[in-house]
Amino acid sequence: MQTTPHTTDTPSPESAAYAPTDRTIPTRSRERASYDHESVHAILDEAYVCHLGFVRDGAPVVLPTLYGRVGDRLYVHGSTGSRPLRMAGAAADRDPGLQVCLTVTHVDGLVLARSAFHHSINYRSVVVHGTAHQVTDPEEKRLALDALVDHVVPGRSADSRPADTKELAATAVLRLDLNEVSAKARTGGPNDEPEDMDLPHWAGVVPLRKGHDALIPSADLAPDITVPDYLIEL
């Protein structure tokens, strides 16, 4: 699913890939890693949920949450009382922002090998390292919230009531720039050992796909309201 664009920025050929760093170069299967904008953005735009990791009181914390992308920025939202948002705000006087690691993963297939050791999954993933900052500018906050809504269903932000002043005050948004980022993917079948090829066990891939069932309208929906085109096209 493609996020509705909120920017016209287009990376130049010289900046069409993210620069690898010590934190974004895998220690294993380096050939599966990629750093180009197109691969990274496609993986991010197709997922619904990310996992946001940070350190609180010396211990790691990982939270699942919704997000949206605008160009080379990710926006993560939550209540003003959520831990990462409180921490990012509290740190502003000392060391601006909150050090985070954000991940997104798609599971595309179950890879069944003849040996238990070589079972695997086909996947696409993105890992982002960086410093998240609270969004305080009202216009950027509205843009971020539109991106969050459109990330789930493109076109939905224009077909719903925008947040009012009270709702904006109760919602906090973190901004994370896509600077230190990498994508990684596995495709193909099992990698069985030559000596296992004659074993009497089925081997191959169980493909997985994302989809949705028939829409369930709200019980109190007015009968004259029809399904919008952007939902029909999902």
Per-residue pLDDT reduced to its tens digit, 37-93: 999 999 999 999 999 999 988 999 999 999 999 999 999 987 655 666 666 655 445
Q: Kindly calculate the radius of gyration of the chain based on its CA atoms and give it in whole angstroms.
A: 21
State the CATH number of the domain containing residue 88.
Answer: 2.30.110.10
Closest CA to 127 of 207, 208, 27, 205: 27
Query: What are the tens digits of pLDDT across the range 195-232?
Result: 999 999 999 999 999 888 999 999 999 999 999 999 98
> What is the percent of the chain where pLDDT is above 90?
67
CA distance 159 to 49: 22
pLDDT of residue 30: 77
Q: What does DSSP assign to residue 84?
A: H
208 touches 109 (CB < 8 A): yes
Q: For residue 8, what pLDDT band results from cuts at 50, 70 and 90?
A: very low
202 is a domain residue = no
Residue 162 belongs to some domain of the structure: yes
Could you give the CA distance from residue 5 to residue 91 in angstroms, rounded to a whole number? Answer: 31
Q: In this model, does residue 9 exceed pLDDT 70?
A: no
CB atoms within 10 A of CB 168: 15
What is the rounded average pLDDT for all residues in the chain?
Answer: 87
9 DSSP 8-state letter: -
The structural domain count of the chain equals 1
**DSSP category for residue 201:** -
Give the pLDDT score at 109: 98
**Position 208 in a domain:** no
With beta carbons less than 8 A apart as the criterion, state whether 76 and 152 touch: no
In a domain, 151, yes or no: yes
CA 21 to chain centre: 20
In a domain, 207, yes or no: no
**pLDDT for the residue numbered 234:** 78
In a domain, 201, yes or no: no
pTM of the predicted structure, to 2 decimals: 0.84
CA distance 134 to 174: 5
The first and second tokens of residue 14, run together, are 């010289």
In a domain, 5, yes or no: no
Residue 23 pLDDT greater than 80, yes or no: yes
Which residues pair with residue 129 across a beta bridge? 101, 180
d(C-alpha 208, C-alpha 107), whole Å: 7
Tell me if 2 is assigned to some domain.
no
Q: How far, in Å, CA of 230 to CA of 105, rounded?
A: 25
- Using DSSP's 3-state secondary structure scheme, residue 88 falls into helix
Which one has a higher pLDDT value, 178 or 10? 178
* pLDDT score recorded for residue 6: 39
Of 76, 71, 37, which is closest to residue 54 (Cα–Cα)? 76
Task: Print the domain residue range for 20.
Answer: 13-193+216-232
